[in-house]
Structure 1
Amino acid sequence: MQKNVLLVVLLLIASATFAQSKFPENQLSINGFRNPSIGLEYQRNQFSIHAGYYPTNFESGVTTEFLKAGITYWFLPVDEKEIPSSFYGGLSYLRGTTRVYKDENALGVEAGFRWYVWKGLNFRIGVIALTAEGKDLKINPTPSISYSFKF
């Protein structure tokens, strides 16, 4: 078990060292769907911060809304584009604005992949695990479309 953990840590360090040079130094994204939220995201190298409006459906036909802010770590770039496609993991604070989450605090943990289709146009597919005090853990897909500007 310890050998496996050590191997994973070494791979993450090697990935971070290699990837550091592949990600843009500064990037601003306008996110048009719910991953990470409908809002803005600023990325510097492998880390980004985001804030915006987050709608989701825990049950079919019923939308629950949140305000959302958090951080994301980008890793394992997979292509040679100007802005590389890559995997991500993130942590977010959510504040419910509707339904049973109204005025409630929640925590979201996300993982997924961002694919750059053309220039700054990108799609994301991921999954979020959302937890709040006194509520069941919710796991939902998190698709997205965004446009990113490198500067």
Structure 2
Amino acid sequence: MKQLGISIFLLLAVSGTQAQTYFSTHEFSINGFRNPSVGAEYRYKHVSVHAGYYPTAFKSGENTGFIKTGFTTWFLSVGKRTNPSSFYAGASYLRGLDRDYKDKNALGIETGFRWMVWKGLNLRIGVIAVAATGESLKINPTPGISYSFFIK
């Protein structure tokens, strides 16, 4: 399962480099909700790195917290604006903070779409698969809201 997810991610990363014509060179984002995490992200052309706190609900009414860090590749930009909306795929390391995942390492593979709403304000909708030893594979939606600063 992990090898399949990593293979798909690498395939998307390679395909993203070919169609990459409309992304700004540098971007710094403050992420205010869940996707990729409550934290910060830095993007260079079509690849970004992120780190922060990731809350999710594997069971209704029961939040589980993680520290999350990883990278994302951006591809298939929509429109010809300087900062277009686009699709993304990413892989992350998660460290559980509580509940069944306390002190456990996990792998997250996610994909989705980022809509550039207005100037730097953007919304994301995606899905993540979380895998950890001793736990069943969990698949959850990953909504997000961020504000991005574009550096030339």
Contact 1:82 1:119 in 2 (8 A): no
Kindly report which structure 2 residues correspond to 1:54-69, keeping only aligned pairs within 5 A, or say none: 54-69=54-69
For residue 84 of structure 1, what is the aligned residue in structure 2?
Answer: 84
For residue 4 of structure 1, what is the aligned residue in structure 2?
Answer: none
Deviates more, 1:75-84 or 1:113-122: 75-84
Contact 2:69 2:94 in 1 (8 A): yes
What CA distance in whole angstroms lies between the structure 2 residues aligned with 1:54 and 1:131?
Answer: 15
Kindly report which structure 2 residues correspond to 1:113-132, keeping only aligned pairs within 5 A, or say none: 113-132=113-132
Contact 2:27 2:43 in 1 (8 A): yes
What CA distance in whole angstroms lies between the structure 1 residues aligned with 2:17 and 2:130?
Answer: 27
What CA distance in whole angstroms lies between the structure 2 residues aligned with 1:27 and 1:105?
Answer: 29
Q: How far does residue 18 in structure 1 lie from its aligned partner after superposition?
A: 3.2
**3-state DSSP class of the match of 1:100?**
helix
Letter in 2 for 1:34: R
TM-score (norm 1): 0.89
Contact 1:120 1:149 in 2 (8 A): yes
**3-state DSSP class of the match of 1:77?**
strand
Contact 2:54 2:66 in 1 (8 A): yes
* Unaligned stretches of 5+ residues in structure 2: 1-10
* Unaligned stretches of 5+ residues in structure 1: 1-8
**By percentage of residues, which structure has more strand?**
2
Q: How far does residue 95 in structure 1 lie from its aligned partner after superposition?
A: 0.1
Question: What per-residue deviation string (whole Å, max 9, x for no partner) do you get for residues 115-145 of structure 1?
Answer: 0000110000000000000100000000000
**3-state DSSP class of the match of 2:19?**
helix
Letter in 2 for 1:18: A
Report runs of 4+ in structure 1 exceeding 3 Å deviation.
Answer: none
Percent of residue pairs bearing the same amino acid type: 60
Deviates more, 1:73-82 or 1:106-115: 73-82
**3-state DSSP class of the match of 1:150?**
strand
Larger Rg: 1
Q: How far does residue 93 in structure 1 lie from its aligned partner after superposition?
A: 0.1
What CA distance in whole angstroms lies between the structure 1 residues aligned with 2:28 and 2:146?
Answer: 10
Contact 2:19 2:75 in 1 (8 A): no
Contact 1:34 1:143 in 2 (8 A): yes
What CA distance in whole angstroms lies between the structure 1 residues aligned with 2:32 and 2:80?
Answer: 25
Contact 1:54 1:67 in 2 (8 A): yes
What CA distance in whole angstroms lies between the structure 1 residues aligned with 2:81 and 2:139?
Answer: 32
Kindly report which structure 2 residues correspond to 1:1-150, keeping only aligned pairs within 5 A, or say none: 13=15, 16-19=17-20, 21-150=21-150
